[in-house]
Amino acid sequence: DTEVTQTPKHLVMGMTNKKSLKCEQHMGHRAMYWYKQKAKKPPELMFVYSYEKLSINESVPSRFSPECPNSSLLNLHLHALQPEDSALYLCASSQDSVRVAEAFFGQGTRLTVV
Partner 1 sequence: SQQGEEDPQALSIQEGENATMNCSYKTSINNLQWYRQNSGRGLVHLILIRSNEREKHSGRLRVTLDTSKKSSSLLITASRAADTASYFCATDAQGGGADGLTFGKGTHLIIQP
Nearer of residues 80 and 104 to partner 1, judged by Cβ: 104
Nearer of residues 56 and 114 to partner 1, judged by Cβ: 56
**Cβ density class 53-86: b for 16+ within 10 Å, e for less:** eeeeeeebeeebebebeebbebbbebeebeeebb
Rounded to a whole number of angstroms, the minimum distance from the CB of residue 102 to partner 1 is 4
CB-based contacts of 92, cutoff 8 Å, min separation 6: 4, 32, 33, 35, 103, 104, 105, 106
Residue ranges in 19-58 that form contacts with partner 1 under rule CB under 8 A:
31, 33, 37, 39, 41-45, 48, 50, 55-56, 58
Using CB under 8 A as the criterion, which residues of the chain lie in contact with partner 1 when the complex forms? 4, 31, 33, 37, 39, 41-45, 48, 50, 55-56, 58, 88, 90, 92, 97-108, 110
